[in-house]
Structures are given as structure tokens and as C-alpha cells.
């Protein structure tokens, strides 16, 4: 660089000429200016032709507020805090859904089915009906035998009496009156009496058995409903506890994300876990730029190298084991936590296991509270 007045050669960082004292006007080299212009033109062209994912990365990079990149070790620690809360949130949501399904299963819906049985009146009517028709059949057979084979009455008279018997169903009575044969009526009456008594006893016994069965069934249904009501009460208590823990987890997670370390699009279990894996494996050392975590993530999503939707991941969990191993482990841990929560919750339904289960739930809640406190302290320290 040279003085514009006297031409003396100056140092690159000089503000005044050391010979004539003229103030130095620093003018950018034309070549450097051209290079910068060319670079800006290329960047604008890239943004114009970029995909939606690239535009988001560009927006993140361009909107950075003079913030130095966080050291890799600190970034891994931050992402680990966020991932821990995301895994817990995932497990609590799953457990809550299962508890609610269990509550629905135990809603009181059992209704005792009405068993068919005979009343005292039914027993008399049914016994009379059966005895009547039994006596009629026996009397008709006896009458027909006497009329056709024993009595010497004129053939046409036999026919008339037979038809009369058929229509009025009182063969034994007419036989006794017209032909003086008393045993036909006696047989009919005896059969009626015997059939009536037998049928009546059978129906009365059936009525008693039916009432006993109905009472037993009603008692069973009532007890089942009482048990369901007790189970629902305990499950609703567990549900309330899970809702409280979930809200607290979401609150603490909001504090972590509120530090504004990562862009809002990437604030979920899949993104946080995947980006943490990039840093831990040495694939990147920054969130921003061409080689940054955001750009790598978007490229891999676009190329279907990784799966970004949790719903799709859960369907094909085994398939992500190789490509997204850290996420696979995180989901496995979340599932384990879900099963542990459900196991403790369901154990409270058993009288013999309830006390132990309650102690485990209390210990787990204390552990979550301690973790939340530690993460909140970390957030305060991070801000400073």
C-alpha cells in the first residue's frame, strides 16, 4: 500500500503516512472486489435454485446473529440434554396412551343377561297343557280300540262316534257315557293327573334353578363392575401422574430449546439425536455452513439415506439400526422406559404388588425431578 500524496510505501495496517502525515484511505484491491462480487453472485444463484430444505439451511446460516459456533464438546452436551428429555417425552406419551386405552377397556359395560325361566303361573299352565294333551291322546287310543275291536256297534255308528271323538278330543268321556266302558275315562283322567304332577314338579325345579343361576350371574356381574370401577380409579390416578410428568418434561424441554442453540425445525427426537450423532462421530464440527450438521441432515433426508418422520421410523425400526444407530438406541431406551412405567402402573392394580409399585413410581418421579433440576441449572449456566 502507498501514500496517495507522496507515494511513500506504507505498512498494511497504517492509518497515516509516516512521511507527510496524510490520512490513508484504504481502498480494496480491484481483484479482491471482483472475487467477492463473483462469490456473492454464485451464492445468490444457489439460493434461487435451492430446494425447500436447502432454503431452510440457507435461512439458518444467513440469520445467524454474530454468534460464535459452540465448541463440539459443548454442543454434544447440549444435544444430549435435549435428547434425554425428548426420549422421556416419547416414553411418557406412549405410556399415557396405553393407560388411557386400559381405562377405556375397564369402563363399566357388563350387563347381566336375562336367563329364561318359568314363573309359578307358567308352571301350572305348562303342566296343564302337557297333561291335557297327553290324557287326550291316551284316551283317544283307548276309545279307538274299544270302538273298532271290542264293541259290536254298527259300522257307520262307529265312524260317526270316531269323527265326533276326533273333533271334540274327549274320547274317554264319550266312551264311558255311550258304551258304558268306564276304564277309558279312568285311564284318561289318571294319565292327566300323573302328567300334570310330573310336569309341574319339573317346571318348579327348573324355575328354582333358573333363579339361582340368575342371582349368581347378577352377583358375578356386579362384582366385575366393582372391580372395574376400582381399577379405573387407580388407572386414572396413574394417568394424572403421567400428565403432570409430561407437562413438566415439556416445560423443561422448552427451556432447553429456548436457549436458541438449534433452529426450531430441528427440535424433535429424530433431528436432535441424528445431529448429536454427527458431532460425536466427527462428521461435522458446526451446525452451519456447507459441511455443517443442518446441511448434512437435509441432504441425507432428501436422498432417503435417513428417515426423518418418527411415524415411519416406528414402522420400520429394524431398518434404521444401521443408518441411524443412535436414534435406534434412543427409541429402544424410550420403549424400555414405557414398559417400566406401564409395569409399575399395572402392578398398582394388584393388592399384593401395589405397595412395591407405588414405591418404584415415587423413586422414578424423584429421579425425573432431580434430572429436571440439573438440566435447568445447566440452562442458567449456559446463558451466562
The total number of structural domains in the chain stands at 3
**What's the predicted TM-score (pTM) here?**
0.62
Q: Specify the pLDDT at position 13.
A: 67
Whether 175 is in a domain gets the answer: yes
Domain shared by 178 and 289, yes or no: no
Task: Note whether 178 and 147 are same-domain residues.
Answer: yes
Q: Are residues 298 and 354 in the same domain?
A: yes
Distance from C-alpha of 355 to C-alpha of 275, rounded to nearest angstrom: 42
* Angle value at C-alpha 332, between 327 and 336, nearest 5 degrees: 150
Q: Are residues 146 and 96 in the same domain?
A: no
Residue 340 lies in a domain: yes
pLDDT score at 257: 94
Does residue 377 share a domain with residue 268?
A: yes
Same domain as 220, residue 267: no
User: DSSP secondary structure string, 272-299?
Assistant: HHHHHHHHHHTS-S-SSSTTSHHHHHHH
- Do 201 and 272 belong to one domain? no
Residue 176 lies in a domain: yes
Q: Looking at 185, 207, 230, which one is the last position of a domain?
A: 230
Query: Do you know the residue count of the chain?
Result: 384
Q: What is the pLDDT of residue 39?
A: 46
Q: Does 5 map to a domain?
A: yes
User: Is residue 252 in a domain?
Assistant: no
Q: Is 346 part of a structural domain of the chain? A: yes
Burial annotation 4-20 (CB, 10 A radius, 16+ → b, else e): eeeeeebeeeeeebeee
Half-sphere exposure of 109 (CA within 13 A, CB side): 5
Is 305 found in the same domain as 218?
Answer: no
Confidence at residue 366, expressed as pLDDT on a 0 to 100 scale: 93
Q: Does one domain contain both 83 and 13?
A: no
345 & 308 share domain: yes
Q: Are residues 277 and 340 in the same domain?
A: yes
Closest by CA to 371, choosing from 70, 99, 80, is: 80
Instruction: Assess if residue 350 is contained within a domain.
Output: yes
CB contact at 8 A, 327 and 274 = yes
What phi and psi values does residue 229 have, to the nearest 5 degrees? -60, -40
Kindly give the confidence (pLDDT) of every residue in the chain, 384 residues in length, as a single tens digit, with 9 standing for 90 and above. 566 556 566 666 676 676 666 666 554 444 444 544 544 444 444 444 445 545 444 544 444 433 446 889 999 999 999 999 999 999 999 999 999 999 998 888 778 888 777 677 777 877 788 777 776 676 666 666 665 666 565 666 666 555 555 554 444 455 444 444 455 556 656 667 777 788 788 888 888 888 898 899 889 989 888 988 999 999 999 999 999 999 999 999 999 999 999 999 999 999 999 999 999 999 999 999 888 999 999 998 888 877 777 776 676 666 676 778 888 889 889 999 999 999 999 999 888 898 999 999 999 999 999 999 999 999 998 886
Nearest to 144 by CA among 180, 176, 171: 171
Considering the domain boundaries, does residue 77 fall inside one? yes
Structural domain of residue 23, as residue ranges?
1-29
Amino acid at each position: 500500500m502507498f501514500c496517495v500524496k507522496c507515494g511513500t510505501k506504507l505498512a498494511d495496517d497504517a492509518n497515516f503516512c509516516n512521511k507527510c502525515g496524510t490520512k490513508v484511505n484504504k481502498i480494496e484491491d480491484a481483484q479482491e472486489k471482483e472475487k467477492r462480487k463473483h462469490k456473492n453472485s454464485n451464492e445468490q444463484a444457489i439460493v434461487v435454485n435451492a430446494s425447500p430444505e436447502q432454503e431452510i439451511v440457507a435461512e439458518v446460516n444467513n440469520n445467524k446473529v454474530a454468534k460464535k459456533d459452540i465448541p463440539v464438546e459443548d454442543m454434544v452436551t447440549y444435544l444430549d440434554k435435549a435428547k434425554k428429555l425428548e426420549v422421556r417425552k416419547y416414553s411418557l406419551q406412549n405410556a399415557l396412551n396405553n393407560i388411557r386405552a386400559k381405562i377405556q377397556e375397564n369402563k363399566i359395560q357388563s350387563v347381566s343377561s336375562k336367563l329364561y325361566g318359568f314363573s309359578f303361573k307358567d308352571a301350572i299352565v305348562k303342566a296343564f297343557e302337557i297333561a291335557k294333551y297327553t290324557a287326550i291322546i291316551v284316551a283317544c287310543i283307548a276309545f279307538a280300540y274299544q270302538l273298532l275291536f271290542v264293541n259290536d256297534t254298527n259300522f257307520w255308528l262307529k265312524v260317526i262316534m270316531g269323527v265326533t271323538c276326533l273333533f271334540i278330543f274327549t274320547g274317554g268321556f264319550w266312551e264311558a257315557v255311550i258304551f258304558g266302558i268306564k276304564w277309558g275315562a279312568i285311564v284318561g283322567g289318571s294319565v292327566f293327573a300323573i302328567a300334570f304332577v310330573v310336569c309341574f314338579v319339573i317346571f318348579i325345579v327348573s324355575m328354582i334353578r333358573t333363579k339361582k343361576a340368575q342371582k349368581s350371574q347378577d352377583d358375578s356381574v356386579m362384582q366385575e363392575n366393582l372391580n372395574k370401577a376400582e381399577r379405573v380409579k387407580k388407572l386414572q390416578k396413574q394417568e394424572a401422574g403421567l400428565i403432570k410428568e409430561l407437562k413438566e418434561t415439556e416445560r423443561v424441554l422448552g427451556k432447553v430449546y429456548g436457549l436458541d442453540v438449534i433452529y426450531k425445525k430441528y427440535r424433535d427426537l429424530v433431528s436432535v439425536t441424528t445431529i448429536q450423532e454427527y458431532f460425536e462421530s466427527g462428521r461435522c464440527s458446526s451446525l452451519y455452513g456447507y459441511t455443517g450438521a443442518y446441511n448434512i441432515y437435509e441432504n441425507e433426508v432428501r436422498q432417503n439415506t435417513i428417515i426423518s418422520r418418527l411415524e415411519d421410523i416406528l414402522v420400520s425400526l429394524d431398518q434404521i439400526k444401521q443408518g441411524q444407530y443412535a436414534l435406534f438406541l434412543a427409541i429402544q431406551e424410550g420403549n424400555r422406559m414405557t414398559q417400566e412405567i406401564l409395569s409399575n402402573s399395572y402392578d398398582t392394580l394388584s393388592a399384593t404388588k401395589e405397595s412395591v409399585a407405588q414405591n418404584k413410581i415415587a423413586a422414578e418421579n424423584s429421579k425425573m425431578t432431580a434430572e429436571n433440576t440439573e438440566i435447568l441449572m445447566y440452562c442458567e449456566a449456559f446463558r451466562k
